[in-house]
Amino acid sequence: MKIGIDKIGFYIPHLYVDMNKLAVSRNVEPEKFTIGIGQEKMAVPPITQDPVTLAANAALEILDEKDKKEIDFVIFGTESGIDSSKSAAVYVHDLLDINPYARAIEVKQACYGTTAGIQMAKGHIALNPESKVLVLGSDIARYGLNTSGEATQGAGAVALVISANPSILELEDQSVYFTTDIMDFWRPIYSDKAFVDGKLSNEQYIAFFSKVWEQYKTKTGLELKDFEAICYHLPYTKMGLKALRTVLDEGTEDVKDRLMENYKISARYNRNVGNIYTGSLYLSFLSLLARKEDLDADSRIGLFSYGSGAVGEFFTGLLQADYREHLHVENHIKLFSARKEITVAEYEEIFQETLPTDGSTIELDIDNDPATICLAGMADNKRQYVNKTK
């Protein structure tokens, strides 16, 4: 039985900062951000968007009434969750009116959470071929104003439906995963910003890629030439490029050109959004599928997932015939073109806005947020979510 990605969509906040302008205000040469790091625009979430609303908006774009009835498992990958106890999946389950006879959980392992969710979903479908699983990856990447990580912030979510007989990508069975305890990136419960050892995280990302890639080749007998494209977790687009370059010499000139061209296409959405942590790999995969129009059915796509701390996994899938018909590329274009640029000063102000932590009530202005699902306020330490269509 084929199991894999039947639907995939994303959501990003409607505000962004131009990286050239951020560079100028930080006294950095713009090329450091646009070439050295490889980012053009950074998504900025207004206070009316949090990881729950971003994920719910992403899922809203792809689910129909039949999906909502058939989904019996909602898995939410996040590393910027809003509650240490209640899962973000339960909120999304309610906001989207998903079948009540469903499981809803949150999974965490830095940027690896969504991949863990997808693999869990695959096992669930193998045992329950009639069901569908909604996997969400949603985060707000925050390092702080004027920090070295600032240029690699961002916000957004992906939503995937995993099912039998998928329309987009059949997940192949063999994958390689690897875990080692390292402190390259972490966020203690008391902090709303991440701590990062940038140099170590870069080194370890590449070391993990090398380990899983070598093991994958040994296990499967497959080689670089067997891949149409490799998509990477992209904390910033230069990072995946560095990892890809470590293996390019294993291929002929044709293979190198193909993988390099497809890499650039797969990084396009991420260049314009920034880091969305758990969703980054899947935003890159979607960018490839949406922006490259001539991928053949049965093309093999490699996916490298990395979550600091750290867990890495290399896994693969085969594109299904007519996958393009299931992408809704026109919605992607609309989402990007409806965004509004804000100044660095406006971004700084939004960045510093906070919600009450003393139980007091606050009502937020959701009329200025074009999203369908918003955070409308807080009361009694409870977040008040609104689906404007309900």
- Select from 13, 235, 309, 377 the one that contacts ligand COA (CB under 6 A): 235
Cβ contact 277:107 at 8 Å: no
When asked if residue 31 is in the footprint of ligand COA (CB under 6 A), the reply is: yes
**Residue 275, marked binder:** yes
**Residue 79 is among the residues annotated as catalytic for this protein:** yes
**Could you tell me which of 37, 42, 34 has the C-alpha nearest to residue 12?**
42
Nearer to ligand COA, 213 or 385 (CB): 213
- 57: tokens are 């908006």
Task: State how far the Cα of 356 lies from the Cα of 165, in Å rounded to an integer.
Answer: 46
In the bound state, the residue with its beta carbon closest to ligand COA is: 36
**Residue 32, marked binder:** no
Cβ contact 290:327 at 8 Å: yes
The helices-and-strands tally (H runs, E runs) of the chain is: 13, 18
Q: From the CB of 186, what's the least distance to ligand COA, in Å?
A: 11
Task: State how far the Cα of 139 lies from the Cα of 77, in Å rounded to an integer.
Answer: 9
- Select from 9, 13, 113, 149 the one that contacts ligand COA (CB under 6 A): 149
Q: From the CB of 335, what's the least distance to ligand COA, in Å?
A: 24
**Residue 143, marked binder:** yes
- Using CB atoms within 10 Å of the CB of residue 294, give its burial: 0 to 12 exposed, 13 to 18 middle, 19+ buried: exposed
Q: What is the pattern of x (binds ligand COA, CB under 6 A) and - over residues 295-334? A: -------------x--------------------------
Determine which one of 70, 111, 124, 313 is catalytic.
Answer: 111
Contacting residues for 252 by C-beta, under 8 A, at least 6 apart: 225
**Could you tell me which of 12, 51, 254 has the C-alpha nearest to residue 138?**
51
Site residues for ligand COA, 173-212, by CB under 6 A, read 196, 198, 201-202, 205
**Residue 231 is among the residues annotated as catalytic for this protein:** no
- Select from 151, 159, 161, 162 the one that contacts ligand COA (CB under 6 A): 151
18 phi, psi to nearest 5 deg: -80, 130
When asked if residue 349 is in the footprint of ligand COA (CB under 6 A), the reply is: no
**Residue 111 is among the residues annotated as catalytic for this protein:** yes
Q: From the CB of 274, what's the least distance to ligand COA, in Å?
A: 10
- Select from 2, 20, 24, 36 the one that contacts ligand COA (CB under 6 A): 36
Nearer to ligand COA, 202 or 220 (CB): 202
When asked if residue 35 is in the footprint of ligand COA (CB under 6 A), the reply is: yes
Determine which one of 14, 93, 124, 233 is catalytic.
Answer: 233
Cβ contact 319:297 at 8 Å: yes
- Residues near ligand COA (CB under 6 A), total: 19
Site residues for ligand COA, 129-148, by CB under 6 A, read 148
**Could you tell me which of 253, 273, 280, 386 has the C-alpha nearest to residue 335?**
273
Nearer to ligand COA, 206 or 222 (CB): 206
Q: Is residue 16 within a helix (H) or strand (E), and if so which, with residue range?
A: strand 15-18
**Could you tell me which of 376, 377, 346, 374 has the C-alpha nearest to residue 361?**
377
Determine which one of 14, 70, 79, 106 is catalytic.
Answer: 79
Q: From the CB of 206, what's the least distance to ligand COA, in Å?
A: 9
Contacting residues for 60 by C-beta, under 8 A, at least 6 apart: 11, 96, 372, 373
Task: State how far the Cα of 114 lies from the Cα of 107, in Å rounded to an integer.
Answer: 8
Residues labelled catalytic: 79, 111, 233
Can you say which residues are annotated as belonging to the binding site?
143, 242, 275
Can you say which residues are annotated as belonging to the binding site for (3S)-3-hydroxy-3-methylglutaryl-CoA?
143, 242, 275
Q: Which residues bind ligand COA (CB under 6 A)?
A: 29, 31-32, 35-37, 148-149, 151-152, 196, 198, 201-202, 205, 235-236, 239, 308
